[in-house]
Amino acid sequence: MALIVTILLLLSSRLCPFQFLLYGGSTGVGVSAFQSNIMVYHINLVPTVFNRKTRIKFATRDAIDSNKSSEEDDFNNGGNIEQNMVTSITSSQAVTLTEELLSMQAQAAKLREEAKSLQLALQQEKRDKIQRETEKVDRWIEELLIESKVNENTELLKTVDQVLERLMEDRYSAEQVNRIFKRLCEIRTQESRSNCSPLMSLLVDASCKLDCMERENNPNKRWNHKVERLLQKKLFARDWNIELDEDDEDSGNPWKL
């Protein structure tokens, strides 16, 4: 009876390895048969799984190596393409920068020429203005102080009263007389209080006479009645080689140096 039960258990365990677990069993033979069946099952299964894992592992490694080599080729090709692009861009940028530099140099040269032309024009305009002012003051000298010219080196001067009359009628200002004074000093650099030319003496004397005139009797309202004192002050300074500032020339005290 025990032998029959053992055979049945072995047959049932071969048909279904988990049959013993489902129905249970208490014999040592049944347990041994079940364990041996499990061992056989694992022995038959492990080589198959191992072979599959090994093939998958080798296939995966080959795929990885293939991908790596492909990526390296792509990287190298991409690096070469990028290097070629950088070289091309650098060359084009260098050409563009060279053209821009040449254009800027040409513009700078043109601007320098224009600036030089403007500077020369300003200098010429300044000289022309000085020349016009000089000619205008020379006309004042001829109209105010000179009666007529005998020849190139000889002039007939007006009298003090004639100059006084012209100062009043033509409404000469202190500024105009001061410009006549400066022009006479340019014509004759030795002008001073101790060495006055006839033209300078005539101008100073006529100015002194007009300064002494009462304001009510003077029709020239532009006259400030301090012209002669300022002229004497400047002549005194020139006599001693003293440089006067504009503030000193216009100061209220004519003898303040």
All structural domains of the chain with their residue ranges: 2-60, 134-249
- Over residues 135-144, the mean pLDDT reads 95
Token digits of residue 171: 């409404």
Q: Which of 77-81, 136-140, 142-146 has the lowest mean pLDDT?
A: 77-81
- Over residues 1-10, the mean pLDDT reads 55
State the sign of the Cα–Cα–Cα–Cα dihedral 85, 88, 91, 92.
Answer: negative
- Spatial contact of 13 and 37, defined as CB atoms under 8 Å apart: yes
| Per-residue pLDDT at 94 | 82
For 25, which DSSP code? Answer: -
- Give percent of the chain above pLDDT 70: 61
Average pLDDT, the chain: 75
Q: Which distant-in-sequence residues (6+ apart) come within 8 Å of 188 by Cβ?
A: 197, 200
Q: How far apart are CA 230 and CA 247, in angstroms?
A: 12
Q: Cβ atoms within 10 A of the Cβ of 228, count?
A: 20
- Dump pLDDT digits (tens) for 41-75: 333 444 444 444 445 444 455 555 555 555 555 54
| Per-residue pLDDT at 60 | 52
- Give percent of the chain above pLDDT 90: 48
With 60 as the cut, is the pLDDT of residue 157 above it?
Answer: yes
Token digits of residue 172: 């000469």
| 21 burial level (CB within 10 Å; 0-12, 13-18, 19+) | exposed
Q: Which distant-in-sequence residues (6+ apart) come within 8 Å of 12 by Cβ?
A: 19, 20
Q: Which of 67-81, 98-112, 237-251 has the lowest mean pLDDT?
A: 67-81
Start-end of H helices in 146-213: 160-169, 174-187, 198-211
* Closest alpha carbon to 250 in 240, 233, 242: 233
Give φ, ψ of 156 to 5 degrees: -100, 120
* Closest alpha carbon to 27 in 49, 2, 52, 47: 2
- Over residues 242-257, the mean pLDDT reads 61
Dihedral, 65, 68, 73, 74 alpha carbons, nearest 10: 140
With 70 as the cut, is the pLDDT of residue 245 above it?
Answer: yes
Cα-based angle 239, 241, 246 (whole degrees, multiple of 5): 100
The HSE-up count of residue 16 (CA atoms within 13 Å, CB side) is 8
Token digits of residue 186: 């340019």
